[in-house]
Structure 1
Amino acid sequence: TRIDVFLPARLEGLSRAIIRREIEAKRLLVNGRPVRKSYPVQAGDRIPLAWYHALRQATILPDPEGELVVIEETPRMIAFNKQPGLPTLPKTHRDTNALACRIVARYPALAAVGGPLEGGLVHRLDTATSGVILAARTPDDYEDLRLLWRLHRVKKEYVAILDGNLVRSLNIRKGMAHQSGKRMKIDANGLAAQTFVTPIARAKNERRTLARVEIREGRRHQIRLHTADAEHPVSGDTIYGGGEETDRLLLHAIALTLTVPGDEERFFFADPPADFLHFTEKWFGGDGLDAITKLRSPSEK
């Protein structure tokens, strides 16, 4: 088993993202040596945990000045609308440039929910991606929500502006694996991933498509990699080849639908940011704006 899978399954409050950061910083050692995140753990390996205990004692710093957009509060969770360009989690306990830091400034109790520096957040969005993201209110709520993510029982919907004229819906089922740096690659032997892409508006010049995208798993860069492999990369994607006419990735997590045991079904909708709507109107006109509006209700999808 890979070390970035092995440790989170056995140490409370750890995510694969945290493990990757500790490996990159060379604080996580195996048998006294740095390793890659893909290192296969073997019987007899010695993995000192001083870095883990330091993380558990670290306190996330609040950012009371940063903007925080709350979509909805329920007794068990809080939904936020993350801005594009804002990291989900801080890189270290000294860093305050992250959504989690803004959350604990307004909701101090969430500093004790979830893993180190998570601020109660139960999943992630890429820094460049905007949209809906959930935090749990208590440790028990955190575990219940994380279980839904692990079992793929959360409906995750996005809107994306794709390069090219997508003439039909796509059901992309291709494995994924890490390639290098921040880049992922298609790998038949990698982690399973399924992405559904539905065109909802087309540019008059046929150079772009506004699409509703649903993913089952939520792998790193899943939508970006799958759409690029289908020759329709997300506009503004500098990693996978999207057009360069925008200064950011035009991908927005627009809705989440889930049911926690003992609770009613919850649907959370995140309005796209102003720049996303600007490009939507510029390239797709009223048809594009109307298509986004129709996604506001779960019964209309």
Structure 2
Amino acid sequence: MRVSLVEQIHLQGVVSPELSGKRLDQALALLFPDYSRSRLQGWIREGRVHVDGKQRKPKEKVWPGERIVLQAVLESVDSCQPEAIPLDLLYEDEHLLVVNKPAGLVVHPAAGNWSGTLQNALLHHDPALAGLPRGGIVHRLDKDTTGLLVVARNLRTHKRLVELLQAREIKREYMAVVNGLPAAGGTVDAPIGRHPVNRVRMAVVASGKPARTHYRIKERFRNHSLLDVQLESGRTHQIRVHMAYIHYPLLGDPVYGGRLKLPSGASDETIKLLQKFGRQALHARRLSLVHPVSGQAMAWESPLPEDFSSLLEGLRQDREEHGT
């Protein structure tokens, strides 16, 4: 079932001296900041914007005293339906939500997962989110990655959060367990794109988009390492791809992790623990940003999920049993 949501928009403004000589699309972006410049340009081309009663092109200049009228229809067509799925909300106000996502929850509908997603849950929590792209979700976590996501609750906040992400002003910090023992922390600076053969996978490819991942060693075990990881960009599967690229893939990663590696002489209990950890060991533990409306600096932290904590306890016990 597809749902069509229609909002009639009628806005007016007068060109001030500060906007004199600017392009029409630039002036609209300043007059009506709730809407992206690309959307405003589209409305101009569709003839939905009049300056002193006449249509103009996006690049034409405007002058003081001219009256701008915008009449448009904002339509959202979506197949995503509200579902009563529990949400772990760490923060909520009229502008945004911060969600602590569990393992196994897909962020938004896609092939093979048309229901039971975080977006379905968000629409049940706040039906008004149906009027926003992807229910207000501005960034994502993989299905089996746990931790923090920020969600916009209105168009103005959505636009601003996207701008903050693009400017790398939303800080996302992760904890990851990798196979192997890196000598030291570092930075992986390598472009990521679709794998040239397996289109389901991502890979480091020359034609990919720029991607940079910073990591430092938090704790060492006998055959694994706990890392603090920070993203400077946000490509699909970025941490998973970058760590595999430098030959320290995430423990439990079913796509990029390769064969399970066991510490030599590990107990049956440790072997069972590692074999049962059936997802990539990755947790989005901290999220920080400047609130897009209030301007207040804010940060949230998510406790480690139970399976991740048990994994670390088991690796520590294995280390102690072998005196290393």
Deviation (angstroms), 1:11: 6.5
Does 2:257 align with 1:241?
yes
Output the CA distance in 2 between the equivalents of 1:207 and 1:11.
51
The reply to whether residue 270 of structure 1 matches residue 302 of structure 2 is yes
Higher-strand-fraction structure: 2
Aligned match for 1:199, one of 202, 217, 220: 217
Unaligned runs of 5+ in 2: 1-35, 41-74, 261-274, 320-324
Asked if residue 230 in structure 1 is aligned to residue 226 in structure 2, the reply is no
1:271 maps to a residue whose letter is: P
Tell me how far apart the structure 1 counterparts of residues 239 and 151 of structure 2 sit (CA, whole Å): 22
1:60 pairs, out of 60, 80, 85, with 80
Match of residue 82 from structure 1: 101
Counterparts of residues 49-198 of structure 1 (less than 5 Å) = 56-64=76-84, 66-91=85-110, 95-113=114-132, 115=133, 118-179=134-195, 180-198=198-216
* TM-score, length-scaled by structure 2: 0.66
- The reply to whether residue 250 of structure 1 matches residue 281 of structure 2 is yes
Identify the range of structure 1 (83-92 vs 156-165) with the bigger mean alpha-carbon deviation. Answer: 83-92
Of the structure 1 ranges 260-269 and 274-283, higher mean CA displacement relative to structure 2 is found in 260-269
Alignment check: 8 A CA contact 1:144 1:260 kept? no
The C-alpha deviation readout for 1:253-299, integer Å capped at 9, x for no partner, is 111111145421111212221111110111135x9xxxxxxxxxxxx
- SS of match in other structure, 2:139: coil
Answer whether contact 1:227 1:233 (CA < 8 A) is retained.
yes
Cα distance in 2, alignment partners of residues 122 and 140 from structure 1? 13
Distance 1:196 1:259, change over 3 A: same
Relative to structure 1, the CA distance from residue 243 to residue 256 in structure 2 (aligned partners, 3 Å threshold; closer, same or farther) is farther
* Partner residue, 1:32: none
Q: Please list every run of at least 4 consecutive aligned residues from structure 1 whose deviation after the TM superposition is greater than 6 angstroms.
A: none
Deviation, 1:185, is 1.4
Aligned amino acid, residue 168 of structure 1 = A
Matched AA of 1:233: P
Structure 2: how far apart are the matches of 1:68 and 1:135?
A: 12
Three-state SS of the structure 2 residue aligned to 1:56 is strand
Deviations 1:152-204 (A, max 9, x none): 2111111001001122102111111211332111123421111111110111x
RMSD: 2.5
Q: Match of 2:78, as an amino acid?
A: A
Instruction: Provide the rounded CA distance (Å) in 1 between the counterparts of 2:199 and 2:206.
Output: 20
Q: Does 1:218 align with 2:234?
A: yes
Report whether the alignment pairs 1:259 with 2:311: no
Contact 1:162/1:232 (CA < 8 Å) preserved in 2?
A: yes
Contact 2:213 2:229 in 1 (8 A): yes
CA distance in structure 1 between the aligned counterparts of 2:183 and 2:316, rounded to whole angstroms: 15
Q: Deviations over 1:108-160 (max 9, x none)?
A: 222222x1xx2211111111211100111211111111111122211111100
CA contact 2:76–2:130 (8 Å) conserved in 1: no
Mapped partners of 1:197, 1:100: distance in 2 = 30
Cα distance in 2 for residues equivalent to 1:243 and 1:120: 38
Whether contact under 8 Å (1:121, 1:136) holds in the other structure is: yes
Structure with greater Cα Rg: 2
Larger mean Cα displacement after TM superposition, 224-233 or 179-188: 179-188
Assess if the C-alpha contact under 8 Å between 1:86 and 1:97 holds in 2. yes
Secondary structure of 1:87's partner?
coil
